[in-house]
Structure 1
């Protein structure tokens, strides 16, 4: 729905000044689109794109009796996985550490009511989480399986992305503005009025987003023969919304 505004400028300013505000403050309070007859319209544009980048979330988790053993063993295992990732031709800039943790692990004894009555230190758990961007998306499933076999015993899933996304959003912004103009014109043409100056261009909350994000796939390490993890990127819909306000002219 369009938003029409027509406020008497002098009355609006007088109300602000009467509250004790200075003329400068009043001017800041009232934007141009609030003081002249205007119309505001939201335009939108969408584009379906096939993702060509897979972002894999991998983890190496190690549990040992002591903190030192857990940290050392985990570091060695993580280094082996990272070396294999680089050997597969992944650019180092596409490999990112998400987190490194070390924490105690306890065995718990509970009573009949489920309350913990005893905690016994079992050892320590070290973990290294990685994010890897695979730009040859058709190889993502085989690579994920390869790295799991190499030692990445945690697989957090996969998300998808599109390269040159900003250029696609630039084109969509232009389409969204044209859509807002078309809608505004459809309202004003039958009233004998025309659109004047553009008073404001803004982006509504959530006005630019991919929808929906592909669901994450999950897998666990297996002793079975190595099989590529099925990964189907499907399509993403990029969406842009923009709100444009025009002055109304006779």
Structure 2
């Protein structure tokens, strides 16, 4: 039988061992705020609506640049138009433009977003702010260690219940790791005096691992 066949048989769970999945987590402090901004304008035709929305985006972008935000931290996220026929007796064209900005100073992110939206005027929108960890490497490493410890604990427990001891590790499969962004809501029509509260808090970076152990006494595995 080939090594590949042995591996496949092991993954199906042959007699003489135990397979468990362990999970772990580690806390990390978010250091990046990502704000999704937008402009939504209505006019009699698409050209005018797009012009109003573009002017709004330009005003918001100017505030961000003046605050030291690099152009590489800004990107367009949406460009669309549609007809709104809800107005009595007439229809209007709606233009929607989006602007995403990555802010490295979480502490001042709320004030800066509020200032940008205030400068944008009535068409300005804030679709949401989320917090991320720019480099979760250390937290992921700690989460993997915790997941491995959990897998060993689970495996040892199952082995004890079965009257066995854990032997060699036959294979290891990483389950997954990541951090869940924190969303801080949406708002529109804010004034420059209105601040957006942004508290970094902590995020849980998680990891999981599935491990297959043989029994320590393989020669008795079939009894």
Global fold match (TM > 0.5): yes
- After superposition, the C-alpha distances for 1:170-221 in whole angstroms (9 at most, x for unaligned) are 33113311321233234435766433332222244xx43435x434233332
How has the CA–CA distance of structure 1 residues 188 and 161 changed in structure 2, closer, same or farther, with 3 Å as cutoff? same
2:220 corresponds to: none
- After superposition, the C-alpha distances for 1:101-137 in whole angstroms (9 at most, x for unaligned) are 111221366xxxxxxxxxx542211111122111100
How has the CA–CA distance of structure 1 residues 107 and 227 changed in structure 2, closer, same or farther, with 3 Å as cutoff? closer
Establish whether residue 47 from structure 1 lines up as the match of residue 15 from structure 2.
no
* CA–CA separation in structure 2 for the residues paired with 1:164 and 1:137: 15
User: Are 2:39 and 2:124, in contact at CA under 8 Å, matched by a contact in 1?
Assistant: yes
Alignment of 1:1-250 (within 5 A): 27=5, 30-33=8-11, 34-107=13-86, 120-151=89-120, 153-188=124-159, 193-204=164-175, 207-210=176-179, 213-222=181-190, 226-250=193-217
Gaps of 5+ in 2: 218-223
Tell me the secondary structure at the aligned position of residue 227 of structure 1: coil
User: Are 1:49 and 1:235, in contact at CA under 8 Å, matched by a contact in 2?
Assistant: yes
Tell me which of the two structures has the higher relative contact order, counting C-alpha pairs closer than 8 angstroms and 6 or more residues apart. 2
User: Are 1:98 and 1:129, in contact at CA under 8 Å, matched by a contact in 2?
Assistant: yes
1:12 corresponds to: none
User: What TM-score comes out, normalization by structure 1 length?
Assistant: 0.73
Superposed CA RMSD in Å reads 2.8
Tell me the secondary structure at the aligned position of residue 140 of structure 2: helix
* CA–CA separation in structure 1 for the residues paired with 2:92 and 2:158: 71
* CA–CA separation in structure 1 for the residues paired with 2:56 and 2:38: 10
Structure 1 residue 35, shift from structure 2 partner: 3.3
How has the CA–CA distance of structure 1 residues 167 and 121 changed in structure 2, closer, same or farther, with 3 Å as cutoff? farther
User: Are 1:214 and 1:234, in contact at CA under 8 Å, matched by a contact in 2?
Assistant: no
How has the CA–CA distance of structure 1 residues 28 and 249 changed in structure 2, closer, same or farther, with 3 Å as cutoff? closer
Gaps of 5+ in 1: 1-22, 110-119
* CA–CA separation in structure 2 for the residues paired with 1:230 and 1:107: 35
